[in-house]
């Protein structure tokens, strides 16, 4: 196919030999399948910042460290330079998260480079070598649902043990290759120790997975791994081999109404975004 403009620099630099086809197009990015020597990989082309939700960007970026003080001041003042640097930091977050999580043993695509807003990474493939399907595209048996749910919970624990929370984990951000689930789409990865919304985002990620897998194995709807995982993390007792029960003893004191309304509003917003994604998929 004709080389897209954003991929031309990678072709010129010899990082990409051929663009084979476009795999998907979403609000955040376009993904192409490319040939690099004798390897078939993915090239994720991120869209411009103005096409993403600034409100979400602020929430997710809280707690991310900026080493250069000039950059940090500019980002805080929202100058033109600062906005450019904030965009760069947002895009680099996925690359940094991929390297960090891969090192921690989390099943994520292997990154191979990041040039001018284009992330070159492993193509997650099925047993036939084709691009692996998303979790929402696969019908599961109850046994598969239980197995994959357990694996996803284990990946969430590994991620948190490495200091990160996905922040937008759902059936749309998990691929299924021949060995099981692979977590993708990490530009919004959250710094667990530095973000005030970290606990809520972790629980939302886990709840999304519980609801999805619970459609195939209803007993999973009774589990409560999110709060259990966070409690272990807060106490310093969380590690990849932690034995989880899926149960959590909830506090009995009166609820904080403001906090409860914030959680409800966040859940409504998440469901609205989920429905919009489904509409976008139908349009594609």
Tokens of 117: 């807003």
- Considering the candidates 161, 185, 205, 207, report the single residue annotated as catalytic: 185
CB 93 within 8 A of CB 189: yes
Helices then strands, each counted (H, E), the chain: 8, 9
What backbone torsions phi and psi does residue 228 show, to the nearest 5 degrees?
-65, -45
Q: Return the exposure string of 45-59: e unless at least 16 CB atoms fall within 10 Å of the residue's CB, then b.
A: bbeebeebeeeebeb
CB 240 within 8 A of CB 105: yes
- Considering the candidates 127, 143, 168, 284, report the single residue annotated as catalytic: 168
Question: Largest alpha-carbon pair distance within the chain?
Answer: 63
Q: Return d(Cα 124, Cα 162) in angstroms, integer.
A: 22
- Element at 32 (helix H, strand E): strand 29-36
Q: Return d(Cα 179, Cα 181) in angstroms, integer.
A: 7
Nearest to 155 by CA among 136, 129, 174: 174
Is 168 a residue of the active site? yes
**Per-residue DSSP letter, 206:** H
**Per-residue DSSP letter, 113:** E
Nearest to 248 by CA among 260, 230, 261: 230
CA neighbours closer than 13 Å in the CB half-sphere of residue 121: 24
Tokens of 147: 């197995």
Catalytic residues: 168, 185
């Amino acid at each position: 196919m004709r080389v897209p403009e954003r991929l031309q620099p990678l072709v010129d630099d010899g990082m990409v030999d051929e663009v084979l086809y476009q795999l998907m197009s979403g609000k955040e990015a376009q993904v192409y399948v490319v040939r690099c020597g004798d390897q078939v990989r993915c090239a994720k082309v991120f869209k411009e910042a103005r096409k993403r939700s600034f409100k979400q960007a602020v929430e997710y970026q809280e707690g991310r460290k900026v080493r250069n003080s000039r950059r940090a001041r500019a980002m805080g003042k929202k100058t033109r330079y600062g906005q450019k640097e904030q965009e760069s930091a947002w895009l680099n977050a996925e690359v940094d998260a991929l390297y960090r999580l891969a090192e921690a043993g989390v099943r994520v695509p292997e990154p191979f480079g990041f040039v001018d807003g284009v992330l070159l990474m492993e193509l997650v493939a099925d047993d036939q070598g084709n691009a692996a399907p998303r979790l929402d595209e696969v019908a599961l048996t109850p046994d598969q649902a239980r197995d994959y749910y357990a694996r996803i919970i284990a990946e969430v624990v590994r991620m948190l043990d490495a200091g990160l929370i996905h922040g937008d984990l759902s059936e749309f951000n998990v691929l299924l290759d021949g060995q099981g689930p692979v977590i993708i789409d990490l530009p919004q990865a959250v710094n667990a120790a530095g973000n005030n919304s970290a606990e809520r985002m972790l629980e939302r990620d886990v709840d999304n997975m519980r609801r999805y897998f619970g459609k195939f194995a209803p007993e999973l709807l009774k589990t409560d791994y999110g709060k259990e995982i966070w409690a272990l993390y807060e106490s310093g007792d969380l590690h990849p081999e932690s034995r989880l029960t899926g149960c959590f003893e909830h506090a009995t004191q009166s609820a904080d109404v403001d906090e409860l309304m914030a959680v409800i509003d966040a859940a409504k917003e998440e469901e609205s975004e989920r429905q919009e994604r489904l509409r976008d998929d139908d349009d594609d």
